[in-house]
Structure 1
Amino acid sequence: MVTGYYSCPDFQGNRGDRLILYPLPCLTPMEPYGYHYRRCPPLGTRLYKSLVKTIKSLSRGPSLMDRYLTSQLIPPFVLSVGIFTSMGVALANLSDLSNKVFEYDLPVIDALKILLYRVPEFFAYALPISVLLTTLMTYGRLSSESELIALRSCGISLWRATVPAVILSVIVSGITFVFSEGVVPETNYRATEILVKVLHEERNFWQNKDIFYPNYEEVKLANGQTFRQLKTLFYAEKFDGQKMRSLTIINWLGDHLNEIVVSDSAQWNANQNIWDFFNGTVYLIDTDKSYKEAVPFKHQQFPLPKEAFEFATQGRNPYEMNLFQALQYKRLLEASGDNKNVRFFDVRIHQKIAFPFVCLVFGIMGAAIGAKPQQMSRGTSLGLTVGIVFSYYMLNFFTGSFGMIGLLSPMMAAWLPNLFGVGIGGWILKKLEN
């Protein structure tokens, strides 16, 4: 019995492609060595072992390689965030605000406030793009200068080498989520408020006229089935933020019309949880649909649902709502039976949840493409960044549109671009590793 060698890529980060001495039977006694190459374990097994080894190594703290790669990632990331945020604010707002200052007499102070309120939105947009550019540039440089080859010669797989980029992407995803939900909706809303107050611009989603809100109740049949039956139809011609004007309320009792209320104005009484109506008439309807009585009033309280008031006051652009506000507004739309807008908000809600994870998608894609053995300049990295971002948002636009018209579920419409991006990045890494 003499010894021979076999070689197999080691995904545990210990030996790599190094030849390991194993006892093997020789073919003939004259041969000093016998060479035997065995088949590598399946990719799933190698990935699992690599993941376990990575978790164990990270639990002991960052290695020298992790600290080195992180030091290469952070400076270009910070610089990219600053550049993309400044460019976004300047290109999207300066021209429009300048026009409003000179043409519509928007005060300069208000224009500066609007500009500052827009910064968080473009900061949130800049984060995933910066992750993509940073990983492309960093891993592209490591590949072109053969540093990745040096790491692999030490037994470190590409999967392990991309861990610092993935961790950075996860952290940036958390920052993006905090900004997108805690800061951006409120600052966008305040910027819109200034334009509405100073220039009297209309809010697209704010209900200030022709407020129409149907209220349904669940009715249970004898066979146990339920269906929705119209209970109240609420209509107001105008709304100034406090009072509604020229109202007509139609109430049903069971399946027949019960009363019609016509009033000059009404407002929600938050202290008593009831509606105060002023200067109107209540028309009582008999079961045979004839007028039974007309009762005029100067002030009358009606126990109507609060949702009509919330529907008018909470109407915002989806980009001016956080998740909690969007879910609340969706429930109001569901109660009103507005299925078209319910689906629109359902898709937007899932997109708001999926958006922060774009950082992780771009981080994986950038590291995978950058790690390819090629000469990648900064200009090439920037060009690839523009192309990938454009392709991603085009795909996001189409899947979102398909979700709104019912061809895709809202969840699939929001998450499909992310899954597609992760799949491409993982496939490229797998090809490079093999």
Structure 2
Amino acid sequence: MKIIDKYILKRYLGTFSVMLLMFIPIGIVIDVSEKVNKMIENKIPLKDILIYYGDFTIYFANLLFPIFLFLSVIWFTSKLANNTEIIAILSSGISFNRFLKPYIIGATVVSVFALIMGFFLVPSASKGFNDFRYSNLKGNSQTRETNDIYRQIKNENNVSEYIYVSNYNYLSKTGFNFTFEKSIGNKLQYKVSASRIKYDEKTKSYTLYNYKKRTIGKLNDILESYEKKIQKYNFEPDDLTPVIYAAETMSITEINDFIDKERDRGNSNINTYLVVLYKKYSLPVSAFILTIIAVAVSAMKRRGGMGVNLAIGIIIAFTFIFFDKVFGTIAEKSSFSPLLAVWIPNIVFGILAVYLLRNAKR
């Protein structure tokens, strides 16, 4: 590796690291200012708070990773351009493509790091981050994260099973207004209802309160009723977990296994999990695209200086985030292909990167 490669690569990784170290503390300060009253009111131990902000750091860095990377590349490349260092490099006979080499190496390092984080570190951090928020920083009414959870848990050999809860509390593993239905073909076999259902991790069973079961007979229905009944069902507490929360907290192995299990059950409502899975792969690729765009935009010395480059960079970065969020939401809420939705921002900005790079070479 030549001296110029080491010089640019050092600036690439160094500026990106400094950008993270600058903005993450700002995010922590803002978060503390918003939640300090709740922390004092709930008498949360300092150890738990420190663990929470460790998880917050990973969660926050992963969330804004594209913006941090893009702005850091624009920042130091603009400084190189303003100091006429880029002109000197290109005047020495080095082509623009050769000039990009250390940037691509830097993007590779950042991409591998982002891939490892997305596969292993971010799910664990997301779980700790969300658990802390819902157990310590939100009111009791808010710990029931979603309403009206309706899932198909089995669809094979003409047998279908469905579950429903009106509310589910992830932390206490408790659901409310529970219903379980089993059908063969189009005919309902029986229906179980309970005002409350609670999962016991030790026995891997569920306790149903105000249990009622109605079995459909040829002439008469059979009714059962108990104040409390312990049952084992073929579904996990994660099946009752709010979809986005659960998807964010799964490692790459867990989310792949979950998707396979849901497909075997015939459940087509797995787009949210697919979006999270595909983003684990698309986010590292965006590092290369955003790096090329940032270099193409900032390698030229402009009359307005670094400020103009940063303004252009901020607009492009937030447009990328906007595309990413909009198409991800569309895929989660409709039949739009999750794979296409996740990769559309990279495709669109990849085309933009090629166009800007061709102009920069001229």
User: What's the TM-score bracket when you normalise by the shorter of the two chains?
Assistant: 0.7 to 0.9
Answering whether residue 362 of structure 2 is matched by residue 416 of structure 1, we say: no
Counterpart of 1:162 in 2: which secondary structure?
helix
User: Map of 1:362-373 to 2, 5 A cutoff?
Assistant: 362-373=290-301
Aligned to 2:18: 79
Aligned to 1:66: 5
CA–CA distance in 2 between the matches of 1:245 and 1:404?
Answer: 25
What is the root-mean-square deviation in Å for CA atoms of aligned residues?
A: 3.9
- Partner amino acid, structure 2, of 1:287: K
**Distance of aligned partners of 1:375 and 1:262 in 2 relative to their CA distance in 1, 3 Å threshold:** closer
User: Map of 1:152-231 to 2, 5 A cutoff?
Assistant: 152-198=90-136, 199-201=138-140, 212-219=150-157, 229=158, 231=160
| 1:282 Cα offset (Å) | 5.2
Aligned to 2:76: 138
Contact kept? 1:214, 1:230, Cα under 8 Å: no
Aligned to 1:100: 38
User: Map of 1:21-420 to 2, 5 A cutoff?
Assistant: 62-91=1-30, 93-101=31-39, 105=42, 107=44, 109=46, 111-125=49-63, 127-198=65-136, 199-201=138-140, 212-219=150-157, 229=158, 231-235=160-164, 241=172, 248-261=179-192, 283-288=214-219, 290-291=220-221, 293-294=222-223, 304-307=233-236, 309-313=237-241, 315=243, 317=245, 318-330=247-259, 339=268, 341-374=269-302, 377-404=305-332, 406=334, 408-420=336-348
| 1:161 Cα offset (Å) | 0.3
**Distance of aligned partners of 1:385 and 1:247 in 2 relative to their CA distance in 1, 3 Å threshold:** closer
**Distance of aligned partners of 1:78 and 1:257 in 2 relative to their CA distance in 1, 3 Å threshold:** closer
With 144-153 and 105-114 compared, the bigger mean Cα shift is at 105-114
**Distance of aligned partners of 1:261 and 1:380 in 2 relative to their CA distance in 1, 3 Å threshold:** closer
**Distance of aligned partners of 1:203 and 1:168 in 2 relative to their CA distance in 1, 3 Å threshold:** farther
- Partner amino acid, structure 2, of 1:432: A
| 1:160 Cα offset (Å) | 0.9
Contact kept? 2:82, 2:305, Cα under 8 Å: no
Give identity over the alignment, percent.
17
Cα deviations across residues 280-325 of structure 1 (Å, max 9, x unaligned)?
565443235x32x456789988674235x43125755244444444
| 1:65 Cα offset (Å) | 2.7
Contact kept? 1:133, 1:381, Cα under 8 Å: no
**Distance of aligned partners of 1:205 and 1:166 in 2 relative to their CA distance in 1, 3 Å threshold:** farther
| 1:112 Cα offset (Å) | 4.9
Cα deviations across residues 148-179 of structure 1 (Å, max 9, x unaligned)?
33333333210110110111012111212222
CA–CA distance in 2 between the matches of 1:175 and 1:69?
Answer: 19
Aligned to 1:51: none
**Distance of aligned partners of 1:184 and 1:156 in 2 relative to their CA distance in 1, 3 Å threshold:** same
- Partner amino acid, structure 1, of 2:353: G
Contact kept? 1:189, 1:320, Cα under 8 Å: yes
Contact kept? 2:148, 2:167, Cα under 8 Å: yes
**Distance of aligned partners of 1:282 and 1:157 in 2 relative to their CA distance in 1, 3 Å threshold:** same
**Tell me, which stretches of 5 or more residues in structure 1 are unaligned?**
1-61, 220-228
**Distance of aligned partners of 1:211 and 1:161 in 2 relative to their CA distance in 1, 3 Å threshold:** closer
CA–CA distance in 2 between the matches of 1:282 and 1:182?
Answer: 42
Counterpart of 1:69 in 2: which secondary structure?
helix
TM-score for the superposition, normalised by structure 2: 0.78
With 405-414 and 237-246 compared, the bigger mean Cα shift is at 237-246
Contact kept? 2:168, 2:241, Cα under 8 Å: no
| 1:342 Cα offset (Å) | 2.6
CA–CA distance in 2 between the matches of 1:238 and 1:428?
Answer: 50
Aligned to 1:430: 358
Aligned to 1:50: none
Higher helix share: 2
Larger radius of gyration: 1
**Distance of aligned partners of 1:181 and 1:204 in 2 relative to their CA distance in 1, 3 Å threshold:** farther
| 1:416 Cα offset (Å) | 1.7
Counterpart of 1:305 in 2: which secondary structure?
coil
Counterpart of 2:94 in 1: which secondary structure?
coil
CA–CA distance in 2 between the matches of 1:371 and 1:399?
Answer: 31
Counterpart of 1:183 in 2: which secondary structure?
helix
